[in-house]
Amino acid sequence: MYVNRSAPHGTIYAHEGLEVVLVGAAFDQEVSMAFVGDGVFQLKQAQDTSGIGTKNFAGAYRALADYDVTRLYVETESLEERGLTVDDLMPLTYDDEGDDDQEKSLITLIDRASLGQLFEAQDVILNF
């Protein structure tokens, strides 16, 4: 599991963290991502970096489904604390082959306590 705690810009952790996920996806492991704290901003829609001259890598989150990364856990408390709702986030979806190609959301909302339990279930946790 990749835990993302950083906003998309201002530090490199979000960008380089995503690179690990995309490279790691080739290794046939069970991969999920958690977005907590300022990490929830990574999934915010309508990002535009033209004002700060940095690479806008928000589009890469749409590629995650192609790499079989379909579980993006977003912590509800982190959203609330930042005045965000799920409607502020990118509408990331994928077609679930295992379920009649139904269109599903990549994003799963999860509360803090449940996320803690989810961490316990992981074999490897990377922190960005």
Partner 1 sequence: MKFALMINQGPYTHQASDTAYHFTCAVLKAGHEVFRIFFYHDGVNNATRMATPPQDDRHVIDRWSELASQHKLDLVVCVAAAQRRGILDEDEARRHGKDGDNLAPGFRISGLGQLIEAGIEADRFLVFGN
- Which parts of this chain interact with partner 1 (CB under 8 A)? 12-13, 16, 19-20, 23-24, 26-27, 29, 123-128
Q: Minimum CB separation from partner 1 for residue 15, in Å?
A: 10
Q: Minimum CB separation from partner 1 for residue 16, in Å?
A: 6
Q: Which is nearer to partner 1, 31 or 115 (CB)?
A: 31
Q: Is 67 left (phi over 0), alpha (psi -120 to 50) or beta?
A: alpha
Q: Minimum CB separation from partner 1 for residue 36, in Å?
A: 14
Rounded alpha-carbon distances, angstroms, from residue 53 to 49, 50, 56, 96: 6, 5, 9, 36
Q: Which of 17, 22, 31, 24 has its CA nearest to residue 128?
A: 17
What are the start-end ranges of the H helices in 33-111? 76-81
Which pair of structure tokens corresponds to residue 18? Answer: 């995503």
Q: Minimum CB separation from partner 1 for residue 10, in Å?
A: 13
